[in-house]
Amino acid sequence: MIYYRPIAQIDRCRPKGARAIAGGWSWFTHAECLERGGISTVVPITEIPVDIVENIARKRDDICGLSMSEPHIMGVLNVTPDSFSDGGQHNTFENAVARAKAMIKEGTSLLDIGGESTRPGADYVDNSEEIARTAPVIEMLKIAGIETPMSIDTRKADVAAAALQAGAVMFNDVTALTYDTDSLPLVGREKPFVCLMHSLSDPKTMQNNPEYDDVLLDIYDHLADQIALCVKNGLPQERIVIDPGIGFGKTMDHNLQLIRGLSLFHGLGCPVLLGVSRKRFIGEIGHAQNAADRAPGSIAIALEGLRQGAQFLRVHDIWQTKQAIRLWKKTL
């Protein structure tokens, strides 16, 4: 199989024949041609199969009522006692609701609410406990008149179903619906928006010597398979977002390869989400031991994701990232 990674450009001097990436702000005239076991080459757009070009270039449908013609911030709201970055800060209903309202003022387009930590080594949380942490927060925000769309960050179908019932519109699953056998039937039946993220193994063990034949192509194929399963189960592809899962069962080198090659994932025909906020590799490269000190590095990688056409950035530091995006957009 041959893979084509569009070489993303954002320069105002856009040559004739260039095509937009996902109908957005980035464009391409050439692509890196990749093949397992082969040497990569660069080919012009005229040598790429037409159906692949069209899949890369096609404007994406709105997600959760949000236009994919501009980038969006997915704000992280962890109602947990043990998340790696902000565990324990918002694990009461009052604190969670107050933080959600603040996040909206800061510029988040989509609230991602999670009740189980997925940091490396995290312990399992019982379904009933995870539901008790998340569904009431979503319900209270809806009662308060919050119109910003909400996502439930979980790998469990029961938790997702309770959140959707409470008012969430997206099921964000770090296992791409592979953990719970009830997840695929749920999304086929309820047809929420879905974010499929790649991860390797369970959070407890995912960082135990992760290995890939080719990290970029292995994850591309895995996400392609999960998209196909969703569609087979009745979920339209237009309701799917994909996330390569930076930091989830990846070494630092794996993470950097995925960031460099992020534009490849536009070939799957779905909006792309990049979640690098405060991740450990940013601390290691940026010399920031404390997660809360990693906003500058997180924003640097986020802007590289935008350059490659990613439509969603999942972040903790919302107003800082929003400010950076405003400045970045003025340079286009």
Annotated active-site positions, please? 279, 314
Cα torsion for 138, 139, 142, 148, to the nearest 10°?
A: 10
Residue 155's φ and ψ, nearest 5 degrees, are -110, 5
For every residue of 71-119, DSSP letters joined together read -EEEEEEE-SS--TTTTTSS-SHHHHHHHHHHHHHHT-SEEEEESS--S
Tokens of 111: 């609230």
**One-letter amino acid identity for 197?**
M
Nearest in space to 309 (alpha carbons), one of 272, 283, 277: 272
Cα–Cα dist 23/18, whole Å: 12
Asked whether the CA dihedral 254, 259, 263, 266 is positive or negative, the reply is positive
CA distances from 61 to 22, 25, 68, 193, 237 (A): 10, 15, 7, 11, 10
